[in-house]
Amino acid sequence: MDLDDRKTIQTPEGLDLDLTLAGLGSRIIASVVDAILIGLLVFMVAFGASQLALGGLEGGILFQALVTILITLVVLCYLVGFEALNEGRTPGKRMVGIRVVTTEGDSIGFLAAFLRNLLRVIDFLPAVFIVGAGSILLTKTNQRIGDIAANTIVIRERLPHVDRAELEPVEHDGERWDVARVTADDVDVLRRFAVRRRSIPADRTEQIAASLAAKIRPKVIGNDEGLTDTDFLLRVLAQKLQ
């Protein structure tokens, strides 16, 4: 019996994405790790400010206000920057294998990352993470207040295993494609396609492959002449998994 909370969504290509929601425990551990790293950054800022004060640049209330603003920006830039630019993963989230995505399963942008982190102050009321923990436990999709406002969820990165031997026939012995623009979300979908294509009728497999290839091809630089849509997708996946 599987006790994990799950959310299933369907991609435009017709593939079901079965997302495992991150629980309270893993999110707390990730938050603790991030808090330690943020604390180190804040210490560095505070130490630098103290050195300026000792050097005679201290300016009373105005100086303290500027330092407070700087520390706030450091905290927000850490949380928002990592989530928006690193596929929803802060260092703490990466360590425990979770990440933030939209409720549709896509990567989050700067606006969603900013909104969900700006509202962390509510999650910590009236004491340490009481509101946030209660919201995670009571909502069907384990969302805290910031997640609800930003339409995001936190998922565990449990991806289907792809047998490397299945990908070898489409791997070229020399040429390397530029697949840097293929995102983690794209790779998730490609993994599921690689695993499920054997159990899908051939005509349906071709339809899904054509739809996926139309989405992935603009992100790949390389010569795919002569490859079927399926072989193209498997080769992209092979390079991303190396």
CA distances from 98 to 3, 90, 158, 164 (A): 17, 9, 9, 24
Q: What is the DSSP letter of 33?
A: H
pLDDT of 60: 67
Task: Give the pair of three-digit tokens for residue 114.
Answer: 């900013």
CA-wise closest residue to 109 among 12, 183, 27, 188: 183
Written as tens digits, the pLDDT of the chain (242 aa) is 344 576 776 666 566 666 788 888 888 899 899 999 999 999 998 888 777 766 555 556 777 788 888 888 998 999 999 999 988 899 999 888 888 988 887 889 999 999 999 888 776 555 556 676 777 888 888 888 889 999 999 988 765 566 655 565 555 555 788 888 888 778 878 887 877 777 777 778 888 888 888 888 888 888 777 788 888 888 888 888 77
Q: How far is CA 156 from CA 16, 25, 153, 181, in A?
A: 16, 12, 10, 23
Give whole-number Cα distances, 105 to 7, 15, 63, 100, 144, in Å: 9, 12, 43, 9, 17
Sequence ranges of the domains in the chain: 6-156, 164-241
